[in-house]
Chain A
């Protein structure tokens, strides 16, 4: 009997979980035997039955209990106590809720992904400019020094070589000071000669930056002495493209401007200081060594420890002001110091912050949209919330529950947003590789990720908190009694506020874009004063040693023009050389030997070849243009434009009057003046617009050849047909001089293609369109919801005899109020935005009332279109079914 009972017990034990059974089978069997010891054994059938029932009960209870404990332990191991109870259930709940309305979920996540993505990528720009360390050693100790005007300390005018020398030797705040100047050089070693961006620098500059060659030696102080052997540092790109991957500089040379330079070192990869240089040459003291007016240097210094910006500024200002008291050329000058990063980012960061503002506007609109929908959903769930609260859920618990939904949406949106940002940043870098200086890296780093996380959390607050607080403020009794037929006034007010905000932001962005686009249109439609179509242009740098003498440059230009004349595809061609008059010359008029005042000095002198006016189709107003005869004889004649005539002779007839430009030289402080020739004015031409309608026309004097051709001339050619002549121009240049570098000629009409106005209006315009689209969605949603909620009410109205017209008026009145408030706020916002834009891009005009009205009209029509469908619904209400509607 006992034996059979034990066997049966063994079978029963299989009901227990395996782990427990394995651990205790033997012991449990022993204990079971104990119960069946003689004297304790059940004695009759009833006792046996009771015994087995109790055994079965024992095993089953224990099995259930063990299973429960195991499960709890597993959960306890996975989640900490506090989270387990609330968070997981809330999230599971929210997930189920979101899965029930996939349309809303997808739209919400996509719009947040766009909003957060746009913000992340714009922030990565701000981050690169503002926060990422410059690629130099201890960049915070680097400062940029420049001469400035005493009456305008912010007006930085560059530094001359002698002033740099004074700063370097007399200062007590820098451990080292260096100077550099960006330039272009002609490298004539490869098959096709090319112009390459180079920088001339003092050997101290690379020490100050803390960047050293990966191969070879850095520049040393002997390298920049007059008469030192010519040397060059090259970039890694430059080396690899010419000599391949192996770096062995031994005996390698490069021909720069016709002079063999020994390569002394190769700089690290991705070093293109200051912006995009491939070659670094010693800044040799040149003929300008004593000229304090030639302010073409950038000066950089590394501070001695402990010197603050104000101290440094004081020190350099006093040095320069000291020179100013003794040297008349420096009268009224001082110096100004900036942190090196502030100097490098100069204005870019303001533009980026502005874009970030626009991007956050887009995100706010997306948030308001989603918030609005969540609010409406909250109302639909009033009953559910009331039931939960009746069952004892606290207010905080309910808010947490509702917030879980927005948290999930925001986190998904944020994750996709990062993907959007990575993709768009990559796109920007690959499509605009040279638009950014080399030290900007738009990496998605920790700072960017933290920003995105912050934005996402803010989104949760914006999107979820309002609706959650509103949605949980329910009166349990009323809600359960009443159903959800009526809409509380506060709800529609909240939504109205959301939509008003959206309208204001969108309007502000549209207005900003509108101002930029109008500026662009004005710039493009402005009559340039000549006909740029079919004209191709390229710059020639005659900087090779063989062009050191002016006769050689003149011979080159003459044979180039002859060469071009022979090609039938080229209708006409000309070269021009451009000189700023500014402070480099004094001007005398009408045989008078006293120079005229500043307000009578024309801005620019162009030395042009005869066909110049023909190539550009620059209309002649009076007299004649310069001709071949003048050019050959180098005749002292000039053609001036209307503005120059106005400045010099006050609109009197200029033909036959005379003007003289005297060059101001500056050998060793004592200034001397080289008298020019008297030029007789023979013709008057149209003004030429230089692309900025606000600045007014430039006063220009055209002459045959003021001096012989300079080192930098511009070649213009008009095509005989619509086909491109870029290749022909290149071929003609190389036919004359096979080693002369030439940039691919571009159509003159495209010359002004890139402008900050264009870039900013494209970016801002994109954001504004996005905002307009989302705001239209928001208005649609608000109206649709308002109509749907008032269906019952409308039904009553109509049952009492109201017409469709009346209902429409009811609905439209609400939209009207929202639009009006939004428009007023938006107008205020856009005046602010326009002011910022004007400070960034000086050519931007003020906000005009017609433009404002036009944009409001566009916006109002989009808004009206968005309300069309809901309005149709409102008036199509059938009173009978509307009254049933709940």
Chain B
């Protein structure tokens, strides 16, 4: 949460219910996996915090999405440049 806020310079606010709703949907879809058990918790962090890991499917989906966005960007950029200024 903090990370997202910092990275987006407070422009992207993740509202709590939506955040965890999204996390649950991603878990159900198999894109991320919740790490359970204390062994998976980074040292010095609270036990009640939840940690998720990107799954193999999730990574594939993400890569595909990035690819799609890149293609989209490229197309749009080409259109922008092709425009007679």
Complex Cα spacing A815 to B31, Å? 72
**Residues 25-44 of A contacting B (Cβ, < 8 Å):** 26-32, 34-35, 37, 40
Interface flag for B49 (CB, 8 Å): yes
**Residues 47-65 of B contacting A (Cβ, < 8 Å):** 48-50
- Contacts A27-B50, A34-B5, A40-B10; is A54 near B15 (CB within 8 Å)? yes
Residue of A nearest to B50 (CB): A27
Complex Cα spacing A16 to B20, Å? 12
- Contacts A30-B49, A34-B1; is A20 near B21 (CB within 8 Å)? yes
**Would you call A23 and B15 a contact (CB within 8 A)?**
no
Which residues of B have CB within 8 Å of A568?
Answer: none
Interface flag for B71 (CB, 8 Å): no
Chief secondary structure at chain A's binding surface = helix
Chain A 60-71: CB-based contact to B (< 8 A → 1; otherwise 0)? 011101100100
Interface flag for B80 (CB, 8 Å): no
**Residues 5-43 of B contacting A (Cβ, < 8 Å):** 5, 10, 13-21, 23-25, 28
Complex Cα spacing A13 to B5, Å? 22
Complex Cα spacing A283 to B50, Å? 92
**Would you call A32 and B16 a contact (CB within 8 A)?**
yes
Scoring A13, A30, A69 by chain B CB atoms within 10 A of each residue's CB, the highest score goes to A30
Complex Cα spacing A361 to B16, Å? 71
Q: Which of B2, B13, B20 contacts A24 (CB 8 A)?
A: B20
Residue of A nearest to B48 (CB): A26
Scoring B18, B21, B49 by chain A CB atoms within 10 A of each residue's CB, the highest score goes to B21
Complex Cα spacing A24 to B34, Å? 12
Shortest Cβ gap from B39 to chain A (Å): 19
Interface flag for A851 (CB, 8 Å): no
**Would you call B18 and A58 a contact (CB within 8 A)?**
yes
Residue of B nearest to A40 (CB): B10
**Would you call A27 and B20 a contact (CB within 8 A)?**
yes
Scoring A31, A37, A63 by chain B CB atoms within 10 A of each residue's CB, the highest score goes to A31
Interface flag for A59 (CB, 8 Å): yes
**Residues 444-496 of A contacting B (Cβ, < 8 Å):** none
**Residues 3-31 of A contacting B (Cβ, < 8 Å):** 9, 13, 16, 20, 23-24, 26-31
- Contacts A30-B1, A34-B1; is A62 near B17 (CB within 8 Å)? yes
**Would you call B24 and A20 a contact (CB within 8 A)?**
yes
Q: Which of A27, A40, A62, A66 contacts B5 (CB 8 A)?
A: A40
Which residues of A have CB within 8 Å of B1?
Answer: 30-31, 34-35
**Would you call A28 and B13 a contact (CB within 8 A)?**
no
Interface flag for A55 (CB, 8 Å): yes
Scoring B14, B20, B28, B50 by chain A CB atoms within 10 A of each residue's CB, the highest score goes to B20
Complex Cα spacing A766 to B25, Å? 66
**Residues 63-92 of A contacting B (Cβ, < 8 Å):** 63, 65-66, 69
Which residues of A have CB within 8 Å of B25?
Answer: 69
Shortest Cβ gap from B7 to chain A (Å): 13
Counting residue pairs across A and B whose Cβ atoms lie within 8 Å, the total is 63
Q: Which of B10, B19, B24, B48 contacts A31 (CB 8 A)?
A: B19
Which residues of B have CB within 8 Å of A62?
Answer: 17-18, 20-21
Residue of B nearest to A27 (CB): B50
Which residues of B have CB within 8 Å of A13?
Answer: 17
Shortest Cβ gap from B49 to chain A (Å): 7
Shortest Cβ gap from A60 to chain B (Å): 9
Shortest Cβ gap from B34 to chain A (Å): 10
Shortest Cβ gap from B47 to chain A (Å): 10
Which residues of A have CB within 8 Å of B28?
Answer: 69
Chief secondary structure at chain B's binding surface = helix
Chain A 636-665: CB-based contact to B (< 8 A → 1; otherwise 0)? 000000000000000000000000000000
Complex Cα spacing A61 to B13, Å? 16
Complex Cα spacing A54 to B17, Å? 11
Complex Cα spacing A582 to B23, Å? 101
**Would you call A35 and B49 a contact (CB within 8 A)?**
no
Shortest Cβ gap from A53 to chain B (Å): 11
Shortest Cβ gap from A407 to chain B (Å): 35
Complex Cα spacing A401 to B24, Å? 38
Residue of B nearest to A37 (CB): B2
Which residues of A have CB within 8 Å of B21?
Answer: 20, 62, 65-66
Which residues of A have CB within 8 Å of B18?
Answer: 58, 61-62
Q: Which of A9, A27, A63 contacts B49 (CB 8 A)?
A: A27
Q: Which of B5, B10, B17 contacts A28 (CB 8 A)?
A: B17
Scoring B10, B16, B50 by chain A CB atoms within 10 A of each residue's CB, the highest score goes to B16
Complex Cα spacing A35 to B28, Å? 27
Residue of B nearest to A63 (CB): B17
Complex Cα spacing A526 to B28, Å? 88
**Would you call B16 and A31 a contact (CB within 8 A)?**
yes
**Would you call B50 and A34 a contact (CB within 8 A)?**
no
Complex Cα spacing A66 to B25, Å? 9
Which residues of B have CB within 8 Å of A23?
Answer: 20, 24
Complex Cα spacing A137 to B65, Å? 70
Q: Which of B10, B17, B23, B48 contacts A58 (CB 8 A)?
A: B17
**Would you call A24 and B24 a contact (CB within 8 A)?**
yes
Which residues of B have CB within 8 Å of A30?
Answer: 1, 48-49
Shortest Cβ gap from B42 to chain A (Å): 15
Complex Cα spacing A63 to B28, Å? 17
**Residues 820-840 of A contacting B (Cβ, < 8 Å):** none
**Would you call A16 and B17 a contact (CB within 8 A)?**
yes
**Would you call B2 and A55 a contact (CB within 8 A)?**
no
**Would you call A28 and B48 a contact (CB within 8 A)?**
no
**Residues 97-120 of A contacting B (Cβ, < 8 Å):** none
Which residues of A have CB within 8 Å of B19?
Answer: 28, 31
Complex Cα spacing A269 to B21, Å? 70
Complex Cα spacing A40 to B4, Å? 13
Complex Cα spacing A4 to B15, Å? 18
Complex Cα spacing A65 to B28, Å? 14
Residue of A nearest to B21 (CB): A62
Which A residues have a C-beta under 8 Å from some C-beta of B? Answer: 9, 13, 16, 20, 23-24, 26-32, 34-35, 37, 40, 54-55, 58-59, 61-63, 65-66, 69
27 A–B pairs (Cβ distance < 8 Å), ordered by A: A9-B16, A13-B17, A16-B17, A20-B20, A23-B20, A24-B20, A24-B23, A24-B24, A24-B50, A26-B49, A27-B16, A27-B20, A27-B49, A28-B20, A29-B16, A30-B1, A30-B49, A34-B1, A35-B13, A40-B10, A55-B16, A61-B18, A62-B18, A63-B17, A65-B21, A66-B24, A69-B25
Besides A31-B14, A40-B10, A62-B17, 16 more A-B contacts (Cβ < 8 Å) are A16-B17, A20-B20, A24-B24, A27-B16, A27-B48, A27-B49, A28-B19, A28-B20, A35-B1, A54-B15, A55-B16, A61-B18, A62-B18, A62-B20, A62-B21, A66-B21
- What are the 9 closest A-B residue pairs judged by CB atoms, nearest first? A58-B15, A62-B17, A28-B16, A24-B20, A31-B16, A34-B1, A62-B21, A31-B1, A26-B48
